[in-house]
Chain A
Amino acid sequence: QLQLQESGPGLVKPSETLSLTCTVSGGSISGSSYYWGWIRQPPGKGLEWIGTIYYSGSTYYNPSLKSRVTISVDTSKNQFSLKLNSVTAADTAVYYCVQIWGNYYYYMDVWGKGTTVTVSS
């Protein structure tokens, strides 16, 4: 059974870079119909799509975050990563990594448990 696990610092200072990694286990990140993505949820609020990557390295970002986001993939480690630079308190959220089915249908069928990132000095 496919599992996703987020890892990274839980506390980031304002103006610095938030860096998270998602480790995929129980399956390959190189599956042809799957994409991989990051979703975030500020405290008490709804879900926001951050971006998506294919195992080949093709990326798709939320235009509202595009100038600050980089998502990368390491197929040798079965991992993908998120970098969000110039963070502010508004970036405080639970960050989820997800597997996305992207062939005719588009949906997020496997979610990591999420990791809380707080932006504070």
Chain B
Amino acid sequence: EIVLTQSPGTLSLSPGERATLSCRASQSVSSSYLAWYQQKPGQAPRLLIYGASSRATGIPDRFSGSGSGTDFTLTISRLEPEDFAVYYCQQYGTSPGFTFGPGTKVDIK
């Protein structure tokens, strides 16, 4: 079973700053199978990035994804007030299927 670890657990930043979120897998993951989601309080998660680096429909270009193998990164180039949320990475594998990382909370400094 592939385990995803996200760091940091919490990232305290100011609007306008750059956010760099890490997702590390215990084994190599196909880039096609790596996605990122944003979740705000009381809301369902929203797909941001799929295939490690492709933005989902309607996602602003300040969000970007990169990485391969076991190390993946979500970057928010300039934080907007609406970007403060929890971010999850997700991978797909044949067994056991989908797994999520524990999440990184981006909060206002």
What is the interface of chain A, defined by CB distance below 8 A to chain B? 37, 46-49, 51-52, 60-64, 96, 101, 104-109, 111-114
Contact B47 A46 (CB under 8 A): no
Chain A binding site: helix, strand, loop or mixed by DSSP?
Answer: strand
Contact A48 B100 (CB under 8 A): yes
**From residue 48 to 99 of chain B, which have CB atoms closer than 8 A to chain A?**
50-51, 54, 56, 88, 90, 92, 95-99
Show 22 A/B contacts (Cβ-Cβ < 8 Å), sorted by A: A46-B101, A46-B103, A49-B98, A49-B99, A51-B97, A60-B97, A61-B97, A62-B96, A63-B96, A96-B44, A101-B50, A104-B32, A105-B35, A105-B54, A106-B32, A106-B35, A107-B35, A107-B47, A107-B51, A107-B90, A109-B50, A111-B44
Residue of B nearest to A110 (CB): B47
Alpha-carbon gap, A56 to B99, bound state (A): 24
Contact B46 A49 (CB under 8 A): no
Q: A46-B100, A46-B102, A113-B44 are in contact. Are A108 and B95 (CB under 8 A)?
A: no
Kindly list chain B residues whose C-beta atoms are within 8 Å of the C-beta of A101.
50
Count CB-based A-B contacts (< 8 Å): 65
Chain B interface bracket (under 10, 10 to 19, 20 to 34, 35 or more): 20 to 34
Alpha-carbon gap, A55 to B101, bound state (A): 28
Alpha-carbon gap, A107 to B98, bound state (A): 9
Q: Give the residue of B50, B96, B97, B101 whose beta carbon is less than 8 angstroms from that of A107.
A: B50
